[in-house]
Structure 1
């Protein structure tokens, strides 16, 4: 399953609803909550052991966030990779 997270602040319940192997993509203002020094950094690090976590490159760029500031292991993807994820995952859950 593909989870598209737009919500900010990100509720930990969203992360808890993902199954092992799910892909979670952070978009829009949710990218502000996935920084290394953020309150969710420990939860996100644990999540990386069972899930693929991604962020859209344009969303961090427009907010002045560098990839090095993100929780280690979160992948920075572009629009083409996002489209590819939507094609590969038949079930998509949006969290707005």
Structure 2
């Protein structure tokens, strides 16, 4: 059973990202959205956690990055930038969606 985890809080304000990464298992996907997209940026406190989460695929919602003035060329290698249509596809592909708030 694969799960899609969504994180919408900044990793610099809440512990949602850390809790999510600790819970996610191989085969899971994590979608960073709203202020959660800050976790997708290179050079931050979350970069090592993203890179070490083996078997977990990371996505960042592009429109939310754009709304926050975040450049796609600063995204951590391996994090895929997606649009709303892909968000829907991810929800359909996984058997369960878990929201971390």
Give the distance between the partners of 1:38 and 1:21, measured in 2 at CA.
24
TM-score in terms of structure 1 length = 0.92
- More deviation in 1-10 or 13-22? 1-10
| Count of matched residue positions in the alignment of Structure 1 and Structure 2 | 95
| 1:33 CA displacement | 2.5
Give the distance between the partners of 1:29 and 1:39, measured in 2 at CA.
15
Residue 35 of structure 1 pairs with residue 41 of structure 2: yes
SS of the residue 1:61 aligns to: helix
> 1:3 is matched with which residue: 5, 23, 26?
5
The list of structure 1 runs, each at least 4 consecutive aligned residues, that deviate by more than 2 angstroms after superposition, is none
Residue 16 of structure 1 pairs with residue 22 of structure 2: yes
Show CA shifts across 1:39-73 (max 9, x none).
Answer: 111111112x3111001110101111111111111
| 1:5 CA displacement | 0.6
- Which ranges in structure 2 are unaligned for 5 or more consecutive residues? none
CA RMSD of aligned residues (A): 1.2
Give the distance between the partners of 1:89 and 1:73, measured in 2 at CA.
19
Task: Tell me the equivalent position of 2:61.
Answer: 56
